[in-house]
Amino acid sequence: MNIAGVGLGDMGPANLKNLESENIVALCDVDPNHAARTIQRYSSAKFYTDYREMLDRQKDIDGLVIATPDHTHAVITMAAIRAGKHVYCQKPLTHDVYEARMLTKSSRESKVTTQMGIQDHSGEGIRQTCEWIWSGQLGEVRQVDAWCSLSYYPWGHAWWSSQWSERPKEVMAVPAGLNWDTWIGPAPTRPHHRAYHPSTWRCWWDFGCGMMGDRGVHTLDSVGIALKLNAPSSIDATCCGSTREVHPLAALVTFQFPARGGLPPVKLGWYEEMQPPRPLDLEDGASLPAEGGAIFHGTKGTLVKGVTGMDLPQLIPAARRKETKPPAQTLPRVQGSHELDWV
């Protein structure tokens, strides 16, 4: 495949590295300085600062890898799909629900292959989680507690000294080479400041989706797939420290899902920047995964899955794990990287 990379400063280089068996023919980033190492690595690829110009001028591109800030995922993905290009887009797929629905509709109408950058979806952990639950060894799963212990506080990190929610009032000069208007894209315009770019945009609602849109996308993927969840019947949220500008310091979000396809109703609790209640059957001295994960409470057993693709689900307590035979492998395994699975 002839691959173009859009967004080259943070996750994009890792995606492209896993695609070096293909032809990296085009690169695009609004900030050539931040993307300099990637541009140098693929020096034979044509470089652009605007994805629209790239799609208009370079017709040999088969697929795009999109790893820009969240608020520009939808517009770039939609432009690529309409141009007939295959798309690998980093998570979260979009900045809001409406955008996700429109991309879903467009992708169904097109003949392109799309994939989202949730690496664990091609990993062993999500498959084992499904096999544990689908084999019936956990019984009925009516409650899941999922969590993330990480945070992007303080907002804008060291570049913004305020401990709370106000956006910077100081206006910083736009660095040479940075196309700030294109970086802002579809978001409400604001002056440039180092508290937003590079790499510090996730905490700001105009650009990022908070920890649920960052880590929660990974953690909740195995929950949604293994329990075959669709839309919830209700959502309740409580948070502290959140404003119109930034994601909360901590939050508890409770989703109620109705019965579906022979599966019972399930309550899903999302604990943001804190841990859930300690499972009663977790043995003394044992701890939950530090960065986050999900606890599946079944009528016959409890399963814990960490957030990363390398975390395999574990029955608790350890004594139960030793005496229980793992379920048979019934799902196909992905050979190679998540990116090559898209290829």
Global pTM value: 0.94
Q: Are residues 104 and 133 in the same domain?
A: no
Q: Are residues 133 and 266 in the same domain?
A: yes
**Kind and range of the H or E element at 47?**
strand 46-48
pLDDT band of 174, cuts 50, 70, 90: very high
Domain boundary among 100, 117, 134: 117
Q: Are residues 24 and 101 in the same domain?
A: yes
Q: Are residues 111 and 244 in the same domain?
A: no
Give the number of domains in the chain. Answer: 2
- Within-domain flag for 266: yes
Q: Where are the beta strands (DSSP E) in 140-280?
A: 141-148, 234-240, 250-257, 266-272
The pLDDT, as a whole number, for residue 192 is 94
The pLDDT, as a whole number, for residue 162 is 54
**pLDDT of residue 159 exceeding 60:** no
Q: What's the CATH code of the domain at 69? A: 3.40.50.720
- Residues 309 and 302: their CA atoms lie apart, in Å, by 20
Q: Are residues 146 and 224 in the same domain?
A: yes
- Within-domain flag for 165: no
Q: Are residues 139 and 247 in the same domain?
A: yes
**Rounded to a whole number, what is the distance in angstroms from the first to the last CA of the chain?**
8
Asked if 217 contacts 73 with a C-beta cutoff of 8 angstroms, the reply is no
**pLDDT of residue 154 exceeding 80:** no
Q: Are residues 6 and 75 in the same domain?
A: yes
The pLDDT, as a whole number, for residue 86 is 98
Q: Are residues 128 and 253 in the same domain?
A: yes
- Within-domain flag for 166: no
pLDDT band of 158, cuts 50, 70, 90: low
Q: How many CA atoms lie within 13 A of 220 on its CB side?
A: 22
Q: Are residues 225 and 329 in the same domain?
A: yes
What average pLDDT is seen over the chain? Answer: 93
Q: Which of 125, 112, 9 is nearest to 67 (CA)?
A: 9
Q: How long a stretch of residues is the chain?
A: 343
Model pLDDT for residues 280-338, shown as the tens digit of each residue? 999 999 999 988 999 999 999 999 999 876 789 999 998 888 889 999 999 999 999 99
- Within-domain flag for 202: no
**pLDDT of residue 2 exceeding 70:** yes
Higher pLDDT, 46 or 210: 46
Residue 82 DSSP class: H
Please give the average per-residue pLDDT across 15-19, as a whole number. Answer: 98
Q: Are residues 64 and 139 in the same domain?
A: no
Model pLDDT for residues 38-84, shown as the tens digit of each residue? 999 999 999 999 999 999 999 999 999 999 999 999 999 999 999 99
314-316: strand order across its sheet: 234-240, 250-257, 266-272, 141-148, 292-298, 302-306, 314-316
**pLDDT of residue 163 exceeding 60:** no
**pLDDT of residue 32 exceeding 90:** yes
Q: Are residues 231 and 310 in the same domain?
A: yes
The pLDDT, as a whole number, for residue 134 is 97
- Within-domain flag for 301: yes
The pLDDT, as a whole number, for residue 169 is 83
The pLDDT, as a whole number, for residue 156 is 62
- Within-domain flag for 109: yes
Q: Are residues 293 and 318 in the same domain?
A: yes
- Residues 282 and 104: their CA atoms lie apart, in Å, by 40
**Torsion, Cα of 128, 132, 134, 135 (10° steps):** 120
Domain membership of residue 214 as a residue range: 121-152+209-334
> Any idea which of 85-89, 240-244, 253-257, 271-275 has the lowest mean pLDDT?
240-244
Q: What's the CATH code of the domain at 147? A: 3.30.360
Asked if 230 contacts 260 with a C-beta cutoff of 8 angstroms, the reply is yes
- If you search the block for the tokens 């409400």, which residue do you land on? 188
Model pLDDT for residues 106-126, shown as the tens digit of each residue? 999 998 999 999 999 999 999
Strand partners, 26: 4, 46
